[in-house]
Amino acid sequence: MARDPLDSIQQALRRVPQQRQRRLSTFRPGPDATLLPGDGETGPAQGPLLDLASNDYLGLSAHPSLKAAAMAVIQSEGVGSGGSRLVSGTRPCHVSLEAALAQWLGRERVLLFPSGFQANLAAVLALADRHSEVIADRLIHHSLLVGIQASGARLRRFRHNDLSDLRRLLERGARSEPDRRRLVVSESLFSMEGTSPDLAGIAAACQEFGALLLLDEAHALGLLGPGGRGLAWGLAGVSLVSGTFGKAFGAGGAFLAADDPVGEWLLQSSGAFRYTTALAPPLAATAEAALEQLQADPGQGEALLRRARRWRDGLEAAGWRRPPGEGPILPLHVGDNALALHLQGHLEQAGLLGVAIRPPTVPAGTARLRLVLRRDLPHGSLDRLLHALAAWPHAPAP
Ligand SMILES: Cc1ncc(COP(=O)(O)O)c(C=O)c1O
């Protein structure tokens, strides 16, 4: 009898260490947010919890104008687009969102995608192939890495946000293989670190050594750069920008923005754009309503950054290592996986939701609690957090 083909999967499953096993937990958002029992768990829901975990940085996901935009387009067009963009799926809401984003970002071309993960695959595959060399920050998002692997390009990594290491790799490549296409990949705001690169330095290096530059602005849009337009805004040398509506835009879906010829090349070549159902109209309409909110109140990102500074000051004064960067992502490093989970549980008991992030999402030995500051958190949230952290038995001495 033939071997059961599931055997090898069972074996692989058994090799996942206990510490790395994942469970889905269900979170019902809102002012009385609750954490429902996860799969395989029993017991009561925990709540209300203060959400210090979601990436809805500007609190737009529940904004009345976003809800109204989604409902209006559902009434007029239905929920799904029913086709891919190049067949029958392009709707007026797609065209108008792409035009509005292109204008906002000062780019010639914007193309929408159903998710940021997919947009990142498309971005790398448009700019690199098996003859290329990709030089990427060591901590780029998994979707970018998967894209690089799928492209067949040779991958070189530079130390996180280390411009001189990047320049060293670019220089070496330009000297030894001047004709090879090079693509540099980085992010504006690293989702697990809270850090940002010296983007002007990276863009200048790419121009100097003739490399393309792909920048993932998933966590930066709405917050960083003038009016929340991201770090690439107005900067020469950035070939392609990737953004998602799943974070500060409070919706879902994503886009790539570029000037021609890269924008036109994407349209002509991208299978990830062509062979997928067009972004659901309610999400496109919601993203456009979010963009209108950002344009109507362009200071909201900066206001959040000011608040983030106060949170960093407070955490530092309480004895924690100051979370790096400037944005609303505030990782509390504890190192050990079990300790990170313990801290998550401790905060839940205190009515706070902050999630432990462990390897392989972050490098081994760097488990952390990823805290996220949002614009709609009530006053007093920082005090509640500091109070709960101080009562944790493993908290550092102030
Ligand atoms: C840096 C980064 N890029 C891309 C993505 C993917 O975006 P999306 O959630 O829209 O698939 C994420 C989110 O998980 C992210 O953190």
- The residue ranges of every structural domain in the chain are 23-52+299-390, 63-296
Higher-pLDDT residue of 395, 109: 109
Q: Give, for ligand 1, the residue of 191, 214, 217, 329 to mutate: max count of ligand atoms closer than 8 Å to Cβ.
A: 191
Q: Give, for ligand 1, the residue of 143, 189, 219, 240 to mutate: max count of ligand atoms closer than 8 Å to Cβ.
A: 143
DSSP lists the bridge partners of residue 330 as 371
Ligand 1 atom closest to residue 140's alpha carbon, by position in its atom list? 1
3-class secondary structure, 128: coil
Residue 40 pLDDT exceeds 80 = no
* pLDDT-wise least confident of 20-24, 206-210, 304-308, 343-347: 20-24
End-to-end Cα separation, the chain, in angstroms: 66
Instruction: Determine the pLDDT at residue 46.
Output: 75
216 lines ligand 1 (CB under 6 A): yes
Nearest to 133 by CA among 174, 99, 90, 183: 183
Pick the catalytic residue: 247, 270, 288, 337?
247
Instruction: Determine the pLDDT at residue 290.
Output: 98
pLDDT band at 232 (very low <50, low <70, confident <90, very high): very high
d(CA 335, CA 365): 5
Residue 281 identity:
P
DSSP letter (8 states) at residue 186: E
388 lines ligand 1 (CB under 6 A): no
Place of tokens 């990823």: 370
Backbone angles phi, psi at 277, to 5 degrees: -65, 135
218 lines ligand 1 (CB under 6 A): yes
Write the class of the CATH domain 23-52+299-390.
alpha beta
- From ligand 1's centre to the CA of 20, what distance in Å? 21
Whether 56 is catalytic is: no
Instruction: Determine the pLDDT at residue 47.
Output: 75
For the domain 63-296, what is the CATH code?
3.40.640.10
Residue 266 pLDDT exceeds 70 = yes
- Which uninterrupted H or E stretch holds 131? none
- From ligand 1's centre to the CA of 254, what distance in Å? 9
d(CA 264, CA 200): 25
| Model confidence, pTM | 0.95
33 lines ligand 1 (CB under 6 A): no
191 lines ligand 1 (CB under 6 A): yes
Instruction: Determine the pLDDT at residue 17.
Output: 85
Residue 256 pLDDT exceeds 80 = yes
pLDDT digits (tens, 9 = 90+) for 324-377: 999 999 999 999 999 999 999 999 999 999 999 998 889 999 999 999 999 999
3-class secondary structure, 27: strand
d(CA 276, CA 257): 18
Ligand 1 atom closest to residue 191's alpha carbon, by position in its atom list? 16
Whether 264 is catalytic is: no
Residue 243: which region, alpha, beta or left (left: phi > 0; alpha: psi -120 to 50)?
A: beta
Instruction: Determine the pLDDT at residue 199.
Output: 98
Q: What is the mean pLDDT of the chain?
A: 95
120 lines ligand 1 (CB under 6 A): yes
d(CA 84, CA 125): 19
Q: How many CB atoms lie within 10 A of CB 143?
A: 22
pLDDT digits (tens, 9 = 90+) for 154-191: 999 999 999 999 999 999 999 999 999 999 999 999 99
DSSP letter (8 states) at residue 320: S
217 lines ligand 1 (CB under 6 A): no
Place of tokens 């530092």: 316
d(CA 51, CA 59): 11
3-class secondary structure, 38: coil
